[in-house]
Amino acid sequence: MKINVVKNVLQANDIVAAKNRQVFQEAGVLAVNLISSPGSGKTTLLEKTIPALADQGPSIVIVGDLQTTRDAERVADSAFQVTQINTGMSCHLYANQIAESLPGLELAQAYFLFIENVGNLVCPGEFDLGENLKVILLSIPEGDDKVAKYPTVFRAADMVLLTKIDLLGAFSYDLARVENDLRKLNPTAPLVPFSATTGQGMGEWLGWLAEQRKTKVGAQARFIHE
Amino acid sequence: MKINVVKNVLQANDIVAAKNRQVFQEAGVLAVNLISSPGSGKTTLLEKTIPALADQGPSIVIVGDLQTTRDAERVADSAFQVTQINTGMSCHLYANQIAESLPGLELAQAYFLFIENVGNLVCPGEFDLGENLKVILLSIPEGDDKVAKYPTVFRAADMVLLTKIDLLGAFSYDLARVENDLRKLNPTAPLVPFSATTGQGMGEWLGWLAEQRKTKVGAQARFIHE
């Protein structure tokens, strides 16, 4: 009985997600779902990324949080548009919350749509929002055992950013363990050591986004924007 | 419709949780539900706490994880008994998972039952397991804005341990902000700076556990154990 309920919720979510995906494709925007624990650096990543992408094109941000608009405020200056979704009790965004926020956004004017999910390393991995890519952030202070313990999100990842890499020396941390655990679940997603403080990994991240936009959005985007 | 499903799940959970609570009371064991993000230090806390409590009495540990038995292995030597629950896709423990694991445990022999929840700062706060106390761990590297952003668990907290306090100097961190945000949600839960590395806060934590056991378990426990 319980399993049936969960299945129905997931199926209903997937139908809405497919519609979102079509809207993103028609608008020619690359949609990126950012997933991590609380405090792994999602908002800081956006603070650094959006200005650095400005010469490629504008970014829209949808921020999910249980409460507060703090994260939305932090990117409000650099993003083209920002929408905050307060999920209340829900530990992840649903596709229908994204769908409901789309009419207020000028998607066809943007090159990138970043969806900052609720801070949670479990549930967001199960709920498709219609995004092109799932990017998982795992920060060094969380420890080197987390990939194997939270396989759902890492299996679904298109890229894994190992954030706060500048803190590596402050912990007993086995990078090879993280890589080995990731490869068992996900043979292809790039694992990128990243620091918003030192800038390490930023070039790889930005280059990957540009490449992914070209591949995933393609001719449709060129027709609209160029 | 969706809200009704959630309500039913929560109500069903609460019925089982009430039964668990009665079992704990009859066994004279203090049940503590440990909640935090991944990597905030729940297992490390138990590694330090269980040996330090040994002169008061034995501890049983129930560990919830999506996958792996790593955390259970880390406390297997010091705990009286350890049970691992692999939740698969679920981002929190349910009361019925606790109920199902109780027949294998000699609760009446133990003074403390620590339930290490799945690493998640959202959902575990909504699901009563029948515990006497909810202890929330928030680590310094997660940042000083997390209390207001994840109000559910902090509202429900009986104690908040501010873990990895030895790393305070490595971050821009406003302790007063954390305390102010917590007090708006929860006027009474002690906020204890804690470090498993330096031992800071350990005395307060152990003293609180002993006091809580006396208050919450009381005469029933003395009758069985002493």
| A and B: number of Cβ contacts within 8 A | 120
Q: What is the mean pLDDT of residues B196-224?
A: 85
Residue A7 has pLDDT above 70, yes or no: no
B11 lies within 8 A of chain A by CB: no
Express as a percent the part of chain A with pLDDT over 70.
92
Q: What is the mean pLDDT of residues B45-70?
A: 94
Measured CA to CA in angstroms, residue B128 lies from A37, A42, B28, B101, B212 at distances of: 22, 30, 19, 16, 18
Residue in B with minimal Cα distance to A170: B167
Q: What is the mean pLDDT of residues B192-216?
A: 96
Between CA B97 and CA B88 the distance in angstroms is 12
Say if residues B131 and B62 touch (Cβ distance below 8 Å). no
Inter-chain touch A139–B141, beta carbons under 8 Å: yes
* B148 interaction partners in chain A (CB closer than 8 Å): 67-68, 70
Confidence of residue B12 (pLDDT cuts 50, 70, 90): confident
* B152 interaction partners in chain A (CB closer than 8 Å): 66, 89
**Dihedral over alpha carbons B191, B196, B200, B201 (to 10 degrees):** 40
The pLDDT score that the predictor gives to residue B8 is 65
The pLDDT score that the predictor gives to residue A10 is 75
Domains and CATH numbers, chain A: 2-217 (3.40.50.300)
Q: What is the mean pLDDT of residues B87-96?
A: 88
The pLDDT score that the predictor gives to residue A82 is 94
Residue A1 has pLDDT above 80, yes or no: no
Residues with Cβ within 8 Å of residue B66, at least 6 apart in sequence:
A122, A149, A150, A151, A152, B86, B87, B88, B89, B90, B91, B118
Between CA B85 and CA B101 the distance in angstroms is 8
Determine the distance in angstroms separating the CA of B185 from the nearest CA of chain A, rounded to an integer.
12
* A65 interaction partners in chain B (CB closer than 8 Å): 149
Burial of B103 (0-12, 13-18, 19+ CB in 10 A): exposed
- Which of these ranges, A70-79, A170-179, B202-211, B216-225, has the smallest mean pLDDT? B216-225
Q: How many CB atoms lie within 10 A of CB A155?
A: 15
Q: What are phi and psi of B211, to 5 degrees?
A: -65, -45
The pLDDT score that the predictor gives to residue A62 is 96
Show the tokens assigned to B31: 């049940």
Between CA B140 and CA B201 the distance in angstroms is 14
Inter-chain touch B39–A118, beta carbons under 8 Å: no
B146 lies within 8 A of chain A by CB: yes
Q: How far is CA A148 from the centre of its chain?
A: 20
* B143 interaction partners in chain A (CB closer than 8 Å): 38-39
| B226 vs A33, higher pLDDT | A33
Predicted TM-score (pTM) of the model is 0.83
Which of B28, B55, B13 shows the shortest CA–CA distance to B216?
B28
Between CA B166 and CA B146 the distance in angstroms is 18
Confidence of residue A12 (pLDDT cuts 50, 70, 90): confident
**ipTM tops the 0.90 cut:** no
- Which of these ranges, A11-15, A222-226, B134-138, has the smallest mean pLDDT? A222-226
Confidence of residue B3 (pLDDT cuts 50, 70, 90): very low
Between CA B139 and CA B173 the distance in angstroms is 11
Inter-chain touch A91–B141, beta carbons under 8 Å: no
- Please name the residue that has the structure tokens 């929002």: A129
Inter-chain touch A141–B164, beta carbons under 8 Å: yes
Mean pLDDT of chain B: 91
Q: At residue B52, what is the residue type?
A: A
Q: How many CB atoms lie within 10 A of CB A30?
A: 25
Inter-chain touch B149–A66, beta carbons under 8 Å: yes
For chain B, state the CA radius of gyration: 17
| A41 vs A218, higher pLDDT | A41
A154-200: pLDDT as tens digits: 999 999 999 999 999 988 999 999 999 999 999 999 999 999 999 99
Please report the beta strands in chain A, taking only residues with DSSP state E, as ranges in sequence order: 30-35, 59-65, 81-86, 112-116, 133-139, 159-163, 191-193
Mean pLDDT of chain A: 91
Q: Which of residues 86-115 of B touch A (CB under 8 A)?
A: 89-91
User: Mutation test of the interface with chain B: which of A37, A126, A182, choosing the one with the most B Cβ atoms within 10 A?
Assistant: A37
Q: What is the mean pLDDT of residues B161-177?
A: 95
Q: What are phi and psi of B122, to 5 degrees?
A: -115, -80
Residue in B with minimal Cα distance to A42: B142
Selecting from A68, A149, A170 the residue whose C-beta is nearest the C-beta of B149 gives A68
Between CA B28 and CA B152 the distance in angstroms is 29
Show the tokens assigned to B3: 């809200």
The pLDDT score that the predictor gives to residue A220 is 53
First-to-last CA distance in chain A? 52
Show the tokens assigned to B142: 């997660």
A204 lies within 8 A of chain B by CB: no
* B121 interaction partners in chain A (CB closer than 8 Å): 37-38, 119-120
**Sheet order of strands, A133-139 included:** A81-86, A59-65, A112-116, A30-35, A133-139, A159-163, A191-193
Inter-chain touch B141–A39, beta carbons under 8 Å: yes
Query: Strand, helix or coil at A131?
Result: coil
- Which of these ranges, A67-76, A141-150, B106-115, has the smallest mean pLDDT? A67-76
The pLDDT score that the predictor gives to residue B44 is 97
Say if residues A38 and A68 touch (Cβ distance below 8 Å). no
Confidence of residue A130 (pLDDT cuts 50, 70, 90): very high
B150-162: pLDDT as tens digits: 999 999 999 999 9
Residues in chain B: 226
The pLDDT score that the predictor gives to residue B6 is 47
Confidence of residue A8 (pLDDT cuts 50, 70, 90): low
Between CA B58 and CA B29 the distance in angstroms is 10
Show the tokens assigned to A119: 């801070």
For chain A, state the CA radius of gyration: 17
A33-88: pLDDT as tens digits: 999 999 999 999 999 999 999 999 999 999 999 988 999 999 999 999 999 998 88
- Which of these ranges, A180-184, B85-89, B158-162, B167-171, has the smallest mean pLDDT? B85-89
Say if residues A143 and B39 touch (Cβ distance below 8 Å). yes
Confidence of residue A214 (pLDDT cuts 50, 70, 90): very high
DSSP for residue A103: G
